Amino acid sequence: MIERDPAAYEPPCRLRLLSDYVDLYAATTPDAVAVIDGDRQLTYAELAAEVERIRGILASLGITRGDRVATLATPSWSYYVTMLATIGLGAIWVGLNPRYRYDEIAFIARDCSPKAIFFLTKFEGRDYRPDFERLAREIGWAHLIALGTNGVGDIEGPAVGASTTERPAVETMDAAVVVYTSGSSGRPKGALLSHHGLIYGALAQHNRWRLPTVNQICFWPINHVGCVGDLSATTLVIGGTLTFQPRFDPKAVLDAIAGGRANVFLAVPTMLQLIMNDPAFTDESFAPIAFLVWGGAALPRPYIERLVALCPRVATIYGMTEAAANTTYSDEGADVDVLFESVGKPLPEFPTRIADGERVLGPGEPGEIQHFGDYLTLGYFNQPEATRDAFTGDGWYRTGDVGFWRRDGNIQLVGRMKEMFKSGGYNVYPREIELAIEQHPAIVMAAVVSVPDPLYQEVGVAFVVPKSDEPLTAEALRVYCRERLANYKVPKRFVIRSELPRLPIGKIDKVSLRTEAMGS
Residue 373 lies in a domain: yes
| Choice among 173-187, 208-222, 293-307, 362-376 with the minimum mean pLDDT | 173-187
* DSSP letters spanning 46-105: HHHHHHHHHHHHHHHTT--TT-EEEEE--SSHHHHHHHHHHHHTT-EEEEE-TT--HHHH
Mean per-residue pLDDT over the chain, rounded: 91
What's the average model confidence in pLDDT over 42-62?
Answer: 96
State the Cα–Cα distance between residues 172 and 281, nearest whole angstrom: 43
Q: Are residues 195 and 67 in the same domain?
A: yes
**For residue 255, what pLDDT band results from cuts at 50, 70 and 90?**
very high
Give 241-285 as a DSSP string.
EEEE-SS--HHHHHHHHHTT--SEEEE-HHHHHHHHHSTT--TTT
More confident residue, 505 or 462: 462
Same domain, 409 and 426: no
In eight-state DSSP terms, residue 394 is T
Asked if residue 405 lies in contact with residue 352, where contact means CB atoms within 8 angstroms, the answer is no
pLDDT tens track for 146-175:
998 889 988 866 544 444 456 778 999 999
Coil/strand/helix, residue 424: coil
The pLDDT tens digits for 363-414 are: 999 999 999 999 999 999 999 999 999 999 999 999 999 999 999 999 999 8
Cα separation, 161 vs 223, whole angstroms = 29
Residue 262 domain-assigned (yes or no): no
In this structure, what CATH number is given to the domain that contains residue 513? 3.30.300.30
Pick from 195, 213, 247: which residue ends a domain? 247
Within this chain, do residues 405 and 297 fall inside the same structural domain, yes or no?
A: yes
Q: Is-contact 76 153, C-beta < 8 A?
A: no
Q: Which of 390, 416, 442 is the last residue of a domain?
A: 416
- Asked, for residue 260, whether it belongs to a domain, the answer is no
- Hey, which of 388-402, 425-439, 497-511 has the most confident mean pLDDT? 388-402
Enter the DSSP assignment of 377.
-
pLDDT tens digits, one per residue of 102-146: 988 999 999 999 999 999 999 999 999 999 999 999 988 889 999
Overall average pLDDT of the 456-470 stretch: 87
Q: Are residues 144 and 282 in the same domain?
A: no
The per-residue pLDDT for 426 is 74
The verdict on residue 155 lying in a domain is yes
Q: What percent of the chain has pLDDT over 90?
A: 77
Please indicate, yes or no, whether residues 159 and 54 belong to a single structural domain of this protein: yes
Give the per-residue pLDDT at 162: 40
Instruction: Assess whether 483 and 369 both reside in one domain.
Output: no
pLDDT of residue 298: 83
Angle made by CA atoms 243, 244, 246, in degrees to the nearest 5 = 155
Q: How many CA atoms lie within 13 A of 149 on its CB side?
A: 1
pLDDT of 416: 79
How many whole angstroms separate alpha carbon 267 and alpha carbon 367? 27
Output the pLDDT for position 183.
45
Structural domain tally of the chain? 3
Residue 184 has a pLDDT of 41
Instruction: Identify whether the C-beta of residue 37 lies closer than 8 Å to the C-beta of residue 244.
Output: yes
Pair (123, 214) in one structural domain: yes
Together in a domain, 411 and 428: no
Tell me the pairing of strands 359-360 and 352-356: antiparallel
Question: What confidence category does residue 488 fall into, taking pLDDT thresholds of 50, 70 and 90?
Answer: confident
Does residue 39 share a domain with residue 162? yes
Q: Is the pLDDT of residue 353 over 80?
A: yes
- Expressed as residue numbers, the domain containing 238 is 20-247
Mean pLDDT of the region 237-247: 97
> Could you tell me if 350 and 370 lie in one domain?
yes
Residue 12 lies in a domain: no
* Closest of 68, 71, 65, 25 to residue 49, by C-alpha: 25
- The enclosing domain of 208 has a CATH number of 3.40.50.12780
Q: Are residues 275 and 198 in the same domain?
A: no
Instruction: Please identify, among 216, 247, 278, the residue that sits at the C-terminal boundary of a domain.
Output: 247
Which range is most confident: 6-20, 181-195, 418-432?
A: 6-20
Q: What digits encode the pLDDT tens for the residues 173-192?
A: 999 999 998 544 457 899 99
**What's residue 216's pLDDT?**
98
Residues 408 and 448 in one domain: no
Looking at the predicted structure, is the pLDDT value of residue 69 above 80? yes
Mean pLDDT of 234-263: 97
Secondary structure percentages of the chain, helix, strand, coil, to 5? 30, 25, 40
- Considering only residues 509 and 49, tell me which one the structure prediction assigns the higher pLDDT: 49
Is 417 buried (19+), middle (13-18) or exposed (0-12) by CB count in 10 A? middle
Residue 2, pLDDT > 60, answer: no
For 2-16, 48-62, 264-278, 370-384, which range has the lowest pLDDT when averaged over its residues?
2-16
